[in-house]
Structure 1
């Protein structure tokens, strides 16, 4: 009979055949179903569950339902009532891109972002760098910048309306240089004035973000720059700016999202998007169309277009400002 024993290869030992399919090492398919679904540490899902449920209820489900409504002539009705909600396809989106008021609101937000986002990044970084180097009254100054952010918008807006009204303090100081019509009822100056107000009010929050990022910049880098003869301005651009790059990307993203959701400020400062829609925003028109006029399908289409626009801007910001991690 022929010898059926296996001869080991030269210089090695005989290896037992691999379990499973011949010629293929055991892979993911051979793992238990529990491991394939929940991973090796399923306890992590338990700790993440509260946040995942929160995200689904507050963000994912409303966004999905808004997308669904945008394809219908939707109408809110009492529970149990049967109403006709005909499918309209992309008609709501066509109306979004052909309605002059909607297009103007997106242009207004564009003007707001062009003014607000650069001002927010530059001022918050410069002020945070200054506060980081201050030795005396540091806590007092930090709290002073943060107070407007946590103060109710209605109270602060009342002060700004007093200051920038036609007979307000600012116009008295400017005298003949004061604009006519005044700031918040001027078609040209209404949205820039709102952008400056929002920048001032939210500056304290972004200053705190930069202050936290500055703690992670090694002091040795500043010492090395000073040894090489770099002054404060050169050290700022060569050490500080690159050192807080990740915080800058975060500030850009948060400022963009906040600006895209502009509602309270135009509603209170200009009496609801005036004059003649010069300060209206997509979110304000969503409120008008969806709540006041009873067209939630059309309002949902405005919201979906706004979400897509913000995602595109955020992607470009991360692509060009964020760069690649080393």
Structure 2
């Protein structure tokens, strides 16, 4: 018999509910976050934590890591070592005393007017070259992206100066920009005196224009590849809303190639900071009176020509820090979270 007020199956329901509750606790425990994850711990084996779940990827990337270690990491570390010594090169196998000088080389770097002038020169170069490179390359890439016929021809035409030997191209520019060159003849009384590459004010801006022109093809191809990955539906939607070509460029193209823009900014900055060939050949080694000397050119003069590699290494370390600061600022203000 059952007690009044109770259902005949209430006992079984209670047992079933209790069983379901216990099973629910087991399932919930099975799917609950592991305590080691909540506390930041890890139960993965050491080889998984080091090489990931697919060690084959680490194997494939090993040659590049070795290349970076040999070509970049070791020379940078050795340059840091050299900068703290009165270092000089000797014949292979010779053992000489290279005294430790501490921060003396860095003190000389920050008190040498020639070094400060070289950094000012490269800053002027970057202010002209980097914005010109970004603006011209994205505009020309957008124009190429809208071309239906002969796109490959125009792309190759822009790319030819980039792959042409600098010595050959510089010879043409010297012919155009010398005192009696074609450019001055066309300008007539408007031609600068002294001429472009021997003018203390115009020498570095002229080099910046030359480098912009020569490297433009490479950056155009980067932007062209990025533009071709922007969905065409975005342009169609913008056109439906009444946006013209200019509005589509600023509202669709520019935001769509933002990662490529950050990459171009970084590459142009690094290339400009390592400027050497152009001032060495165009102005005869940084003339006039150091107005076009770059830090890398000054490193060559101090380390190779004058035999002060320790001092040259200190200039190089300061240059690396200078480029890193600029790159971080670019990534902060142009790259955002990316």
Name the TM-score, length of structure 1 as normaliser.
Answer: 0.91
Query: 1:163-192 CA deviation, whole Å, 9 max, x = no partner?
Result: 011111000000000000000000000000
User: What is the SS of the residue equivalent to 2:204?
Assistant: helix
* 1:265 partnered with 2:265: no
* 1:100 partnered with 2:113: yes
In the other structure, the counterpart of 1:37 is 50
In the other structure, the counterpart of 1:301 is 314
User: 8 Å contact 1:263–1:283 — kept in the other structure?
Assistant: yes
Q: By how many angstroms is 1:263 displaced? A: 0.2
How many Å separate the matches in 2 of 1:33 and 1:9?
Answer: 40
Alignment of 1:3-42 (within 5 A): 11-12=21-22, 31-42=44-55
> Is the alpha carbon distance of 1:240 and 1:29 closer, same or farther for their aligned partners in structure 2, counting shifts above 3 Å?
closer
* 1:174 partnered with 2:187: yes
In the other structure, the counterpart of 2:241 is 228
**151, 173, 194: which one aligns with 2:207:** 194
**88, 93, 97: which one aligns with 1:80:** 93
In the other structure, the counterpart of 1:66 is 79
How many Å separate the matches in 2 of 1:276 and 1:65?
Answer: 31
In the other structure, the counterpart of 2:264 is 251
User: 8 Å contact 1:28–1:36 — kept in the other structure?
Assistant: no
User: 8 Å contact 2:162–2:214 — kept in the other structure?
Assistant: yes
In the other structure, the counterpart of 1:162 is 175
In the other structure, the counterpart of 2:7 is none
How many Å separate the matches in 1 of 2:292 and 2:86?
Answer: 28
Q: By how many angstroms is 1:135 displaced? A: 1.7
Query: 1:35-87 CA deviation, whole Å, 9 max, x = no partner?
Result: 34333322222111100000000000000000111011111112221211111
Looking at CA atoms only, which structure, 1 or 2, has the larger radius of gyration? 2
Q: By how many angstroms is 1:24 displaced? A: 6.8
User: What is the SS of the residue equivalent to 1:84?
Assistant: coil
In the other structure, the counterpart of 1:310 is 323
**160, 166, 183: which one aligns with 2:196:** 183
For structure 1, the 5+ residue unaligned runs are: 1-7, 16-22
> Is the alpha carbon distance of 1:136 and 1:35 closer, same or farther for their aligned partners in structure 2, counting shifts above 3 Å?
closer
In the other structure, the counterpart of 1:133 is 146
Aligned length: 312
Q: By how many angstroms is 1:270 displaced? A: 0.2
User: 8 Å contact 1:124–1:206 — kept in the other structure?
Assistant: yes
User: What is the SS of the residue equivalent to 2:22?
Assistant: coil
> Is the alpha carbon distance of 1:138 and 1:91 closer, same or farther for their aligned partners in structure 2, counting shifts above 3 Å?
same
Query: 1:92-119 CA deviation, whole Å, 9 max, x = no partner?
Result: 0111110000000000000000000000
Name the TM-score, length of structure 2 as normaliser.
Answer: 0.88
> Is the alpha carbon distance of 1:288 and 1:220 closer, same or farther for their aligned partners in structure 2, counting shifts above 3 Å?
same
In the other structure, the counterpart of 1:241 is 254
Query: 1:132-171 CA deviation, whole Å, 9 max, x = no partner?
Result: 1112221111111100000000000000000011111000
User: 8 Å contact 2:36–2:43 — kept in the other structure?
Assistant: no
RMSD: 2.0
